[in-house]
């Protein structure tokens, strides 16, 4: 079940990025809800919020390292019933793979979800953020974080 979640999130991430690349030019913005939510094609050459710009080799190495660690941890703890712990790792894994694919293909990450009050992001970023919040909650508020 965990790997179905990874494949689903990864597919959704890559499909939405493909649609943006095919239908918008770089920095083009299309309002969905004017002044609230736009689809804006941005190339992010940094990490979260554009920090550490043009450090692609560092990001590629870090992503590979994180992907291997998460995969090993999921394989070790995988059980029939899905746990919040494994779900959080699956979300982080899918997001890391999605953004890694972009860095390897383009040298940057395709971002497009623009809420105008926050830096532009994508599905992979959302999965990583939700996964990290769930993981943090699980570690802080459960007796045994792992299943």
Does residue 13 carry a catalytic annotation?
no
* pLDDT-derived band at 119, boundaries 50, 70, 90: very high
**Which of 13, 102, 111, 114 is flagged as catalytic?**
111
Instruction: Check residue 80 and give its pLDDT.
Output: 55
Partners of 30 in the beta sheet? 39
Does residue 125 carry a catalytic annotation?
yes
* pLDDT-derived band at 118, boundaries 50, 70, 90: very high
Q: Shortest CA distance to 92 belongs to which of 138, 55, 126?
A: 126
How many Cα atoms occupy the beta-carbon half-sphere of 60 within 13 Å? 13
d(C-alpha 64, C-alpha 93), whole Å: 10
* pLDDT-derived band at 33, boundaries 50, 70, 90: very high
Average pLDDT taken over every residue of the chain: 88
pLDDT digits (tens, 9 = 90+) for 35-78: 999 999 999 987 665 555 666 677 788 888 888 888 888 777 76
Please report how the helices 2-23 and 123-141 are oriented relative to each other, as an axis angle in degrees rounded to 10: 150
């Amino acid at each position: 079940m965990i790997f179905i979640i990874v494949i689903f999130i990864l597919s959704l991430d890559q499909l939405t990025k493909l649609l943006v690349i095919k239908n918008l030019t770089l920095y083009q913005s299309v309002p969905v809800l004017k002044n609230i939510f736009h689809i804006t094609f941005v190339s992010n050459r940094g990490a979260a919020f554009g920090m550490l710009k043009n450090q692609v080799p560092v990001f590629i190495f870090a992503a590979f390292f994180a992907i291997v660690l998460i995969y090993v941890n999921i394989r070790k703890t995988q059980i029939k019933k899905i746990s919040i712990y494994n779900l959080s790792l699956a979300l982080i894994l899918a997001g890391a793979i999605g953004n890694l694919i972009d860095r390897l293909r383009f040298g940057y990450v395709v971002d497009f979800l623009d809420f105008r009050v926050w830096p532009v992001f994508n599905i992979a970023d959302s999965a990583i953020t939700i996964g990290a919040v769930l993981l943090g909650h699980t570690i802080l508020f459960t007796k045994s974080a792992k299943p």
